[in-house]
Amino acid sequence: MSAVLEPKLTGKTPWFAGDVPPDEVPEKYRLARAFVPKARYLDPDFLRLELEKMFSRTWQIACREEELPGVGSYVEYEIGAHSIIVVRESRTAISAYFNSCRHRGTRLAKGRGRVGSLICPFHGWRWNLDGSIRLVLDREEFVPRSDEDLGLVRVRAEVWGGFVFVNMDPGAAPLLDYLDPIARIFEPFHYENMRIKWQKGVILPCNWKTALDGFLEAYHVAGTHPQLYRLDKTNTNIASMKELENRTWSPTTTYERHAHYSSVGQKKIDTNAGNKVKDPGKQQSYGVTDPREAFALSVQYIFEDMKGLENDRSHRAAEALKTAEIPEGATAGQVFMGLYREIVETEGYAWNDITPEQWAEAGTAWNVFPNTILLPNQGSSFMYRSRPNGLDPDSCLFEIFALDAVPVEDYGKKRDHEPQIFEDFREAGLGEVFTQDLMNSKEVTVGMHSPSFDGHRLSEDQEMTVYNHHRVADRFIWT
């Protein structure tokens, strides 16, 4: 019998050339059509495989460029047992090194800060910012070793959109190839002109992927965030059957490595008419009689509750929308964008020209494989990053970064930045929507441990982002 090389997948579950045939994956980890076995979340051996084979070979966002404002500024990025130090080597160069002394291995720098040279806290060996050895105390007592042997070991570091990515694999493809098609699709959103407004991390009692999965689809909105369908955002009672009829539909799109979902702002029934474009000009009004009010309140609720993705400019534009004239043939969303643009340009910010086609391709939220999510929007964005917490598959560090455009004249300005970490997400002041999402993380984990549960049964229309992550992971883990 020859090996079965064709996937046993049919329907809309993604399969790309070069994917690992299912029968080459151990049964307990094997994907099936729109099905992900639970061992991929709960098994400590699987986490070890992820760390050894996947995190060691993929590009990951270590920090933002603005976190390295001056020569010698550094940020530590930890992943599994590895610590990487990202340093601004010169005004134009950012470098990354394994954060490990060449003498006896001591970690050289922790957290973030600024140094003139890297100095080991143990016996005081020193390195220049380019990683070359500068000082070995009593070097004549050591076996002669080349400066090269004593230099810090480099980790790949490349920048896109103001994000500093690192990759421990010296043979990895360049960042821009790896990101495809994200760099092209995100270009009109100009992430390089945004800066971190706030950054909060929370320790969650769930697998690092469970934390991400909760933000990789909008199928959960009806169940988790019913207030988003209501004018009265304080009403978080479970959605009625009538309200469920008005739910929006959020299809997923998968690429070779990355994937996204699109909250198209349309009911499932309406999308049959072929209108699958996420365009702020075409948002649903949830049966509210005044579409200006409905649109304005949803923008304002996102800003007030989530404190990101929207901003004070879009919030004010939404306020003006409530009493604005809507010309014949225009929508509230289109008028809103005009008002928003006026505020942005008057106040010295750059306005991003984004065509309906570009909005459609950008969708709502992307899994930047493996461990980040980006939500593109006009002038603001969220980024989420999730990492395993040690070797416990049921614990992770999940971080939220609110990114916001700054006025053009402030592009070169240094900014203070202090990330916060909370042991208990309920003390992080994250608002209702995030709290609802994060509440799910523990419940999913408890339920997944039940012997009755074997794995995720996913929607082929709205949850293939979740599946796609595992499909791509297999390419790193089993090849």
Selected from 103, 154, 197, 267, the binder of ligand FES by CB under 6 A is: 103
Alpha-carbon distance of 207 to 210, in angstroms, equals 5
Region binding ligand FES by CB under 6 A among candidate stretches 40-48, 103-111, 226-234, 406-414:
103-111
Q: Minimum distance from CB of 297 to Fe ion (Å)?
A: 18
Find out whether 352 and 379 touch, Cβ atoms under 8 Å.
yes
Q: Any contact of residue 134 with ligand FES (CB under 6 A)? A: no
* Partner interacting with residue 437 (select from Fe ion, ligand FES, none; CB below 5-8 Å by kind): Fe ion
101 versus 335: smaller Cβ distance to ligand FES? 101
- Give the DSSP H/E element, type plus range, for residue 76: strand 73-79
* Partner interacting with residue 103 (select from ligand FES, Fe ion, none; CB below 5-8 Å by kind): ligand FES
* Partner interacting with residue 104 (select from Fe ion, ligand FES, none; CB below 5-8 Å by kind): ligand FES
Query: Is beta strand 380-389 parallel, antiparallel or unpaired with respect to 163-167?
Result: unpaired
Q: Any contact of residue 400 with ligand FES (CB under 6 A)? A: no
Q: Minimum distance from CB of 102 to ligand FES (Å)?
A: 7
Q: Minimum distance from CB of 157 to ligand FES (Å)?
A: 22
Helix (H, G, I), strand (E, B) or coil at 251: coil
* Partner interacting with residue 123 (select from Fe ion, ligand FES, none; CB below 5-8 Å by kind): ligand FES
Looking at this protein, which amino acid is placed at residue 330?
A: A
Alpha-carbon distance of 220 to 433, in angstroms, equals 12
How many residues sit in the footprint of Fe ion (CB under 5 A)? 1
Tokens found for residue 61: 């966002």
Distances (CA, A) of 411 to 65, 154, 341, 408, 414: 12, 29, 19, 6, 9
123 versus 449: smaller Cβ distance to ligand FES? 123
Q: Minimum distance from CB of 137 to ligand FES (Å)?
A: 8
Q: Minimum distance from CB of 133 to ligand FES (Å)?
A: 11
- Give the DSSP H/E element, type plus range, for residue 403: strand 392-405
Strand order in the sheet with 365-368: 252-254, 259-261, 365-368, 372-376, 380-389, 392-405, 194-204, 420-422
Q: Any contact of residue 104 with ligand FES (CB under 6 A)? A: yes
Selected from 217, 305, 394, 437, the binder of Fe ion by CB under 5 A is: 437
Q: Any contact of residue 139 with ligand FES (CB under 6 A)? A: no
Find out whether 219 and 462 touch, Cβ atoms under 8 Å.
yes
Q: Any contact of residue 101 with ligand FES (CB under 6 A)? A: yes
Alpha-carbon distance of 270 to 247, in angstroms, equals 11
Q: Any contact of residue 369 with ligand FES (CB under 6 A)? A: no
Binding region for ligand FES (CB under 6 A): 101, 103-104, 106, 120, 122-125
